[in-house]
Amino acid sequence: MREVLVIAGIIGACLCGCDNAATKLDEHDYLRSVLPETLLDKAQLEVASEQSVSILGDGQSQYLGLHVFRGQSKVNRGIRAEVSVDYPFQQGDIIRYSWRFMLPVDFVSDAPRNRWWLIGQWHDQPNSTNGETWDNFESRSPPVLLGLGELDGKLAIGLTCGVTDGDHQQRSVGPAFLERGKWHRIATEVLWSQGSEGEVRVFIDENLDPVMSAKGPNMNNDYQHYLKLGMYRHPAIETDNRIYIDDIEILKVTKP
């Protein structure tokens, strides 16, 4: 199992300060605000503390706020506030991952340096049938990622993909521009493969055609890669930043 922060007790105690367990928020309460019950047992929060996550909105309009800030503790050796979803698939499957997100109007980027800052990544993990465990699994960069930056005063994301094992070169495409203070829907369709037939296509908002795409191998090993979305950034970036997310959906696409 991945090394993740189990926040149920921590967040419940910090937010409530009482002994009534029925009133305490646990990890599933946060996750239910952004994803369906069918994904709940596959999802986890990776946050540093109760300051890193909040439920906003009311009723059916609830969404999740994720927060990274100067001086926060590292989570899994990094500065992050993310939701992870370990959705099962086999090599050759096409999986569509979609969610809504918003960067607030006062969002401060890392321009002009634009050091690495991820709002989505798909990471490899051990394949137990091959005798792999987290104890002996090599740490590698994600083979598929969505990076955030700013160009000419506009926020933008780019797609980078390709295996990160050995001397392979990743491919970067983009940018696709975003608006501060606007909810965007992003959908990423991945044909998962260790071979040349692999493909990643990114759709934003109402675009029927992909705004970014790349072909080629996109799996570091032959086991399902898991999604992490939110914020994960260079440890030297010190700004206080929030991202809001909602409506996480993952499904297998029938091949044409």
DSSP 127-195: -GGGT--TTTPPP---SEEEEEEEETTEEEEEEEES--STTPPPEEEEEEE--TT--EEEEEEEE--SS
Residue 100 β-bridge partners? 185, 246
What's residue 73's pLDDT?
A: 95
Residue 1 in domain: no
* Cβ–Cβ under 8 Å, residues 210 and 232: no
Between CA 44 and CA 226 the distance in angstroms is 11
| Contacts of residue 242, Cβ cutoff 8 Å, sequence gap at least 6 | 65, 66, 67, 104, 107
Residue 249 in domain: yes
Tokens of 29: 């309460």
What's residue 25's pLDDT?
A: 61
Residue 22 in domain: yes
What's residue 217's pLDDT?
A: 96
What's residue 18's pLDDT?
A: 32
For every one of its 256 residues, what pLDDT tens digit does the chain have, with 9 covering 90 and above?
Answer: 343 333 333 333 333 333 333 334 689 999 999 999 999 999 999 999 999 999 999 888 999 999 999 999 999 999 999 999 999 999 999 999 999 999 999 999 999 999 999 999 999 998 888 888 777 777 888 999 999 999 999 999 999 999 998 778 899 999 999 999 999 999 999 999 999 999 999 999 999 999 999 999 999 999 999 999 999 999 999 999 999 999 999 999 987 6
The model carries a pTM of 0.88
Tokens of 16: 């409530």
Residue 132 in domain: yes
Rounded CA Rg of the chain: 18
Phi, psi of 89 (to 5 degrees): -160, 165
DSSP element (H, E) containing 225: none
Residue 112 in domain: yes
Task: Look at residues 204, 220, 56 and name the one whose alpha carbon lies nearest to residue 120.
Answer: 204
Residue 3 in domain: no
Residue 216 in domain: yes
Ramachandran area for residue 174 (φ above 0: left; ψ -120 to 50: alpha; else beta): left
What's residue 6's pLDDT?
A: 32
Task: Look at residues 41, 52, 42, 38 and name the one whose alpha carbon lies nearest to residue 7.
Answer: 52
The CATH number that applies at residue 41 is: 2.60.120.200
Structural domain boundaries enclosing 176: 8-253
Task: Look at residues 168, 148, 166 and name the one whose alpha carbon lies nearest to residue 158.
Answer: 148
What's residue 256's pLDDT?
A: 66
For the chain, how many structural domains are there in total?
A: 1
What's residue 186's pLDDT?
A: 99
Residue 101 in domain: yes
